Structure 1
Amino acid sequence: MADAGVDIAQLTEDQQLALQQFTAVTDQEVKDAIPLLQRCQWNVQIAIARFFDGEPAEDPIAAAATQQDVPAPADTRRQETLLNNFTSSPRSSTSSRRVRIEPAPRVVPQPESQVAAQAPLFFTLFFAPFNLVYSLLSKYFRFVGYLFPFLPRAWGRLTASNINSPAAVRRSNGRRQLSPRDTAARFIREFEEEYGANELPFFEGGYAGAFDLAKKDLKFLLVILISPEHDETTSFIRETLLNREVVDLIRNPENSILLWAGNVQDSEAYQVASSLNCTKFPFAGLIVHTPQVSSTAMGIATRITGPTPPGQFVAKLKQGMQAHREPLSRARAQRAEQQATRNIRQAQDSAYERSLAQDRERSRRKKEEAERKAREEKEAQDREDAKERYAQNLVQWRKWRASSIPREPGAEDKDVVRISLRMPDGERVVRRFAADAHIEELYAFVECYDVLKEKEGAGALDEKVQEPRGFEHTYGFQLVSPMPREAYEVEKGGTVKARIGRSGNLIVERTVGGEEEEGEEDGDD
């Protein structure tokens, strides 16, 4: 046997490539794949075929390698008899068990139309000229059909009745060939019609499906093959197969038996009978996974041929199951352990992925929060800078506009307008303006009142202030007469006399920044 602990680094490049191909197709562990590939001389196709179809009881390569050192084995029939009677020693029993287990092949039914038989060489040479003429005529008629498309359709209508006739689609025994699932359904229906309702849990599918399911779930596959042409078939089914003890044994969940039955008149059942070397009917074979031979092999645990009493039938089945119950239990435990390990690994990977996703989400949120704070700080700083620039420009504009406001007319000027202003801080200011002065001049006086007060207190300014560039000034207040209330908006323009008259009491109401202040003048000056 190959050593399961071979180091992959010690393999050649071709062997590593073969190992990769085999594990990619079969999804088998490396420690189990390497011994199988070594037994198959690193042939990937043979290894894959043995993986799915099961290995023979005795490996011919290993037997040839050990032929010189191991003495010739005793007769196989003698070993099987000793094993069944449990008279050999434990060591000889183990070796004989390994030799006697007959491999159970996986049978996939092949349509009879696809089965091609190789003719003898003499007939091949004799019919070679006819085949050549047939080939030339076929190509000629195909060319004619290409030139005249209506001819094949007309010929097809003429021959359709013969092709679709019942005689053309039925086999010589009168049974139509169906798919494996339909064949199983037909067998179960005919079985119930012939022997009445029963409790046998037939597998409703093909033999290959039952074979794969038994290998996957580590169950016993009980194969029943019957032939209606045999006289003992009816008595075997009524007295043995439908016996309560047999039915209970098959239906018991602890036995893990999967039942598949077929009629050898059907193509699939006939191919199964040929593969299992069945020579006598009725036939019952117990197929089971044999981990002592290979990790994927399926073998025939016991054969029951011909009519058998119910007690003897049950005893043989129990004997076959008992011989393989312990290896199956170990295989189930190993699979359960592997599945648990796989589940733990998947759970760890899933937890790691969730943790990684959470870390990524936290990092993303942290980055977005930092960007948001930086953006808000920048916007706040921009607003502060804009306010500061506006305040500086406003101060400069006030100084510039204050220098352009005309002085108050003197007492000798008669054409003047006397305005009484109440400032937002409550201060009362009385000033005279020229009658033809624009209303904007009155607004500029209110806007630059503080600058004018400082100018009067400090004297004339030494330097001339320039108007700030790119600054658009907007008055943040309006002048309102208390009674009746009327707002003198600067946008409407006009002179002071035309808008207000000879005199007036006005209130300065803020419209931008701070709350608007409203008040009424108690009386005229």
Structure 2
Amino acid sequence: MDVDALSPSQKDALGQLQALMNGGDADVAIGVLDSVNWDVQRAAEMIFDNGVPPPLSRPGSRTNIEHFEVDDSEQGLLIPTSSGREFRPVRTPSSGLTVRPVRALIAVITLPLRLITSILRFLFRILRVPFPQFVPFTWSSLSYRSHGLGNRHDSRLMDPRSVAERWVRALEEETGAVCISRSGARNNLDSSVNDHGVSSGTDAAGPSTLTARMGPNDSTVEDVELKSLPDFFLGSYENFVRTCEKSAKIGCVILVSEEHDDVPEFKRSTLTDPTLLKLVQENDIIVWGGDIRDKDPWSASQKLQATTYPFVAFIALQARRTTGPGTASAPTLTILSRHQGPCIPSTSAPTAAQTLATHLTDHLLPRVTPFLARIKAQAAERERERALRAEQDRAFEESRQRDKERVERRLAEDKRAEDERRLRAEAEEQRRAWHARRMDWRRYERRALVTREPRPGESGRGKTMRVGLRLPDGRRLVRFFGESDSMTALHAYVDSHFIPAELAPDSDPHAPPGGATPGEIGLVEEVQSSGRSETQWWGFQLVLAYPRKELAWEPSRRLGDVDVLKSGGQLVVEMVGDMGSGDGKGKEKAAAAENSDDGYETED
């Protein structure tokens, strides 16, 4: 098809597509555009993704891109929303999967040519000669031209951050400048200069190692002065605009195309201008840029409606325009201004450093800065309120936790006190049961184990022995025993004096408590099964007053076999346990009377 036969709009679409394809054959470009009804974006998708675009909704229709004025009315077109977006993201059509085997075959066939082309490019780069385009429009020119090595389908190479890093690195090599943050570190290295005036740092900025497109105003003299570039945001365009929105800062978008003759001068003069860089740095403007040969910058150029390059746009949050009076809405990202075209002459060109600096100083910053400062103040106030609420919540939680711990501690104390009361009650019940059983045994002992005193002249029980006893309550007892009587009889006699007076001897039981074995054998079994020692079971012990000597209970031992009692003796009853009411002071009384004389004499 003849180019002259095209309409003005078709010629404009053809020019845009050829700019994206680094020139290319016009007939092939016209064929691609004609297959998608002259839609540049769909044609670019078809070329860049090497696939077939999805069919149009109706034949002959054309997707028109809405044009906006360069003012605050261009709102809501910078980031995707749930309700949709003005410009569709560049995506890979599913139908592109069908051409992958063909592409792989072509890649194998063209591998020798690619190797030869790479060697020639390397040689031309060393000689600083532009590499000629032998084939104006090939299969490889229909895809993205990656700035790095490797397969373009490598996820690392296609990552927006990696693409941005490669572009910035190439920009530094081409301009001989470095980003501001790196130049600050590099200036520290410049302080260590040798005697010949050469920096000892290995990363000092030098002349470009890349061959730039020569223009009429290009100089062949290398600028050895150290230059700086803005600190570019390394990431995708979507992340860039979200960062501008979240931080309430001004964003600067820089888009270039190597096919435009004005781009090299723009890189060397505008992007390295000290005055413009100082304005960007002092006002904390976030800068993002890229070459439209890459997918993300191409998508950004469509959203920002870039028509020529170099292209500079400023974006920031602005109040959303509402139709109803008195209605308030959240601010939205807005295209504040767009600048595109050459940077020469330096005083009036659209993208000249002086023009951009004047625009920032006189128009954009005075208009936008107060609103952004108010947004930041509101955000800081919300953050203070959030921190205050968090502190209040923390104090409330600590108070609640303290109250909970206090309640739990009180419940634990009540439970412990209840357990102690229960244990005391159980112990008291056991003590009462024990004393009741001991009282039953005392009464049984009084009837069955306490022998009567020998009568005068009675010789069946051996020699009569006179034993004096001092009880804990101070009473004195004198009792006569036969020398054949056992020590059980003596202990049972003492034990019977702890029976209350209201319990008469006539009511004493004839059988031992609990069906035990009658007699002394049953008593011994009771003592052994009680779990107490013999002294603890009796509750007292018999002690010779002087010299002090304890008389242990030995059930089968005769009193006549006890040396201290062969001729009788004086014994003291000492308490070793709770014997009931009124017996608490018995042990003290017995100890006080231990060394006293009771006035009795032992009978020979």
TM range, normalised to the smaller chain?
0.5 to 0.7
Match of 1:242 in 2: 272
What aligned pairs does 1:15-414 form with structure 2 within 5 A after superposition? 80=69, 99=73, 103-105=77-79, 114-116=92-94, 173=145, 175-176=147-148, 177=152, 178=157, 179-194=159-174, 195-199=176-180, 200-252=230-282, 255-293=283-321, 295=330, 297-306=332-341, 307=343, 308-318=351-361, 319-404=363-448, 405-414=450-459
User: Any idea what SS the aligned residue of 2:444 has?
Assistant: helix
CA distance in structure 2 between the partners assigned to 1:482 and 1:109 by the alignment: 116
Match of 1:122 in 2: none
CA distance in structure 1 between the partners assigned to 2:72 and 2:295 by the alignment: 32
User: Any idea what SS the aligned residue of 2:372 has?
Assistant: helix
After TM superposition, give the deviation of residue 353 of structure 1 in Å: 3.2
Distance 1:488 1:76, change over 3 A: closer
Q: Deviations over 1:360-380 (max 9, x none)?
A: 222222222222223323333
User: Any idea what SS the aligned residue of 1:432 has?
Assistant: strand
Distance 1:362 1:102, change over 3 A: closer
Match of 1:511 in 2: 576
CA distance in structure 2 between the partners assigned to 1:102 and 1:490 by the alignment: 107
Match of 1:443 in 2: 491
Q: Percent identity?
A: 25
User: Any idea what SS the aligned residue of 1:205 has?
Assistant: coil
Distance 1:109 1:188, change over 3 A: farther
CA distance in structure 2 between the partners assigned to 1:169 and 1:491 by the alignment: 119
2:146·2:294 contact (CA, 8 Å) conserved in 1? no
After TM superposition, give the deviation of residue 394 of structure 1 in Å: 3.8
CA distance in structure 2 between the partners assigned to 1:118 and 1:180 by the alignment: 22
User: Any idea what SS the aligned residue of 1:286 has?
Assistant: strand
Q: Quick one: which amino acid aligns to residue 433 of structure 1?
A: F
After TM superposition, give the deviation of residue 181 of structure 1 in Å: 1.7
2:552 is aligned, of 489, 507, 522, to: 489
Distance 1:476 1:115, change over 3 A: same
CA distance in structure 2 between the partners assigned to 1:423 and 1:348 by the alignment: 77
1:292·1:327 contact (CA, 8 Å) conserved in 2? no
1:109·1:268 contact (CA, 8 Å) conserved in 2? no
Match of 1:58 in 2: none
After TM superposition, give the deviation of residue 206 of structure 1 in Å: 2.2
Q: Deviations over 1:265-314 (max 9, x none)?
A: 32222222233222212111111123324626322111111223222111
2:486·2:555 contact (CA, 8 Å) conserved in 1? no
Q: Quick one: which amino acid aligns to residue 481 of structure 2?
A: F
CA distance in structure 2 between the partners assigned to 1:338 and 1:410 by the alignment: 111
After TM superposition, give the deviation of residue 356 of structure 1 in Å: 2.9
Q: Deviations over 1:34-82 (max 9, x none)?
A: xxxxxxxxxxxxxxxxxxxxxxxxxxxxxxxxxxxxxxxxx988xx5xx
CA distance in structure 1 between the partners assigned to 2:75 and 2:423 by the alignment: 85
RMSD of aligned Cα (Å): 4.3
Match of 2:127 in 1: none
2:469·2:573 contact (CA, 8 Å) conserved in 1? yes
CA distance in structure 2 between the partners assigned to 1:419 and 1:220 by the alignment: 120
Q: Quick one: which amino acid aligns to residue 360 of structure 2?
A: L
2:79·2:238 contact (CA, 8 Å) conserved in 1? no
Distance 1:451 1:272, change over 3 A: closer
1:301·1:321 contact (CA, 8 Å) conserved in 2? no
After TM superposition, give the deviation of residue 173 of structure 1 in Å: 3.0
Q: Deviations over 1:2-56 (max 9, x none)?
A: xxxxxxxxxxxxxxxxxxxxxxxxxxxxxxxxxxxxxxxxxxxxxxxxxxxxxxx
**Larger relative helix fraction:** 1
Distance 1:296 1:503, change over 3 A: farther
1:287·1:299 contact (CA, 8 Å) conserved in 2? yes
1:416·1:502 contact (CA, 8 Å) conserved in 2? no
1:416·1:432 contact (CA, 8 Å) conserved in 2? no
CA distance in structure 2 between the partners assigned to 1:355 and 1:302 by the alignment: 55
After TM superposition, give the deviation of residue 242 of structure 1 in Å: 1.4
Distance 1:326 1:483, change over 3 A: closer
- Normalising by structure 1, report the TM-score: 0.61
Q: Deviations over 1:412-447 (max 9, x none)?
A: 123135153443546654422233322211111122
Distance 1:99 1:512, change over 3 A: closer
1:437·1:496 contact (CA, 8 Å) conserved in 2? yes
CA distance in structure 1 between the partners assigned to 2:95 and 2:394 by the alignment: 55
1:418·1:430 contact (CA, 8 Å) conserved in 2? no
CA distance in structure 2 between the partners assigned to 1:111 and 1:496 by the alignment: 120
User: Any idea what SS the aligned residue of 1:381 has?
Assistant: helix
Structure 2 runs not aligned, ≥5 long:
1-65, 102-107, 119-138, 181-229, 322-328, 344-350, 516-525, 531-535, 579-583
2:487·2:556 contact (CA, 8 Å) conserved in 1? yes
- Higher mean alpha-carbon deviation, 493-502 vs 311-320, is at 493-502
- Normalising by structure 2, report the TM-score: 0.54
2:467 is aligned, of 420, 433, 437, to: 420
Q: Based on CA coordinates, which of the two structures has the bigger radius of gyration?
A: 2
CA distance in structure 2 between the partners assigned to 1:203 and 1:382 by the alignment: 80
CA distance in structure 2 between the partners assigned to 1:109 and 1:385 by the alignment: 90
User: Any idea what SS the aligned residue of 1:413 has?
Assistant: coil
After TM superposition, give the deviation of residue 335 of structure 1 in Å: 3.6
CA distance in structure 2 between the partners assigned to 1:269 and 1:76 by the alignment: 19
2:486·2:559 contact (CA, 8 Å) conserved in 1? yes
Match of 1:50 in 2: none
Number of residue pairs the alignment of both structures matches: 388
